[in-house]
Structure 1
């Protein structure tokens, strides 16, 4: 019985390894395709970085997560310092200051900040679950520092990842779903104030009722909720004009109708949609995409790699990739449910949230269902820092699998 159980668990590890490695393999070919007319050919660096990342994942898989807990605060502090260093000595590209140059390599600290935040937030929630509203101060403190430093780079896309991490991990730790809704509700108010102002007349009272029914000090909670949402409705226009760069405002608006500026802010979306649509059912074949070959789509090897996938592998290829990510997420949820400790479970859920949030936002961006946010597609988009972080996350999840297996064998 022990043998059959061990075989099932080992077979499931092939999902954790197989899906990422398959993504990396196809991505290398797609990146090479995007650079056929370029003056450089560094597509193979994608595979080299993945190889280094796989070795790191193998090493981390043998290390119990509990041994990392004494290092969590120092690692978190180092990532915060690196984000501050970006503001002081960082390299600017594409209108944002996000990288630190170390010799010939550009390191993106915001990628490593995501995993540092997941680990520390998991430890905090495991030790101090949110049972009262005041308990939110700890997780909010953990997330708010890297979120703010990333937002002002500016990197709107990555800053959204931190919000998704916090909400999902709070819910997984046992916080009532009503509180999660209340935390997310100011964002809805901000959207309504700009798109459907009359909707706030329904939304704000609804949130006040929810606060009254789910929070202590009911009348005070309802009054504070109304005040926060009213303030958000007033401040949002100012934040829109002063908190975002011009290109960020264009990205958030033009996805609704990119034809308004077909040669400017809407160019990426239009060309990406055409490229994906031109692939048809089976695609043009690897290294055969004409739009990819002629480089009609800027930054196609990074944020828009999914458009190259759609053109060269067609609808079948894109469905297989989406199915692969869904299978990976299903396996991560299984790992989280069977983890030995709350800390391990929360870390795996945080990693799953990070990966799937980026997958959904990136794919929606490339097919025209969402604004351009600069979020890469995990394991497919070119980027050394993102690739290493993805494999570090894989190693941490494999560590949880290994420890849960050892624990189950011990019980048998």
Structure 2
């Protein structure tokens, strides 16, 4: 990506200079000529290099949800930032060479191949070369900065404490609650009709099972009662018959009957879980009253987790419905109002959440507090180390600029007009 002039002959240098002089006439074309934009000691930065860096930065910004450049002024500033970033990288690479820093390029090539394989990317030599070059540059820059970091004073406990005391608001923890939930999905009429058809199919299999005791559970009188029943009552009657058929099965049934047992269990589970809003609310209300009657908070918490594992159709059911901690402003407003207005150990009245009806138990609560210094010291140290490294980079680059020769080629800085009209399309190509 970055081109070295040391091995070039004088003739090559003249050709590059001629290309830079002619580049101005090509700026209005729809493609970008790879002409020189800046000399950095014995290295050069071409407009193609800047284009690649702008594209990389643009994609990274979009992935992070950052503010994308729009219009001539933004894109020209974006171009200048990319040029300065490349300049800093070259200066630091040159310093790594001067210091005699050596990297394990074989290991980096291996890492790149593994990265391409793990991300299911096409094994393109061009792609591999670009990624390897990027990683080499990052490694050289990182190694140089670490080399000079040893000459700067270390972060002291006094600095950490001072940062903590100056930024109390930053370390202030919002009120938060620890909750567990039992959620039951409200069924639609279509869901109920589909389940009824499935239950009827399983009932037909019961009628032809090889065991007389199983067949007897679906006798003519029972089937007649099912046929004469209202549509709302019919699933419960069929479920009752299927339950009796399940119990009538021998302990070690043959394969076909064993499959029927499995099918019955599946259908009965669906029937228990698939119910209308009123039935779900009534079930949750019963659970709430039963649990709230328990005097022991620990007993109530354990019973809630057991009910969630058995009945909940929402997330984290296997974990007893434990949803962990959440702060104000991070959940649905209605859910927050419930969680922050009932006591620890209490269980809410049934509430609606999307396609579910649920109840919520507050397991614990913490008010707005300032986190202890011991809790945040690693975070503060990491921030101070990052700022220290940035200062080292800024100071070192300033010194390297003063020692070296950084010269622009003004004619090469013009951008094609289409770059200013549709940045998202241009930078994504």
When the two structures are superposed, what TM-score results if normalisation uses the length of structure 1? 0.19
- Point out the structure with the larger strand share: 2
Greater C-alpha radius of gyration: 2
Name the one with the larger helix percent: 1
TM norm structure 2: 0.19
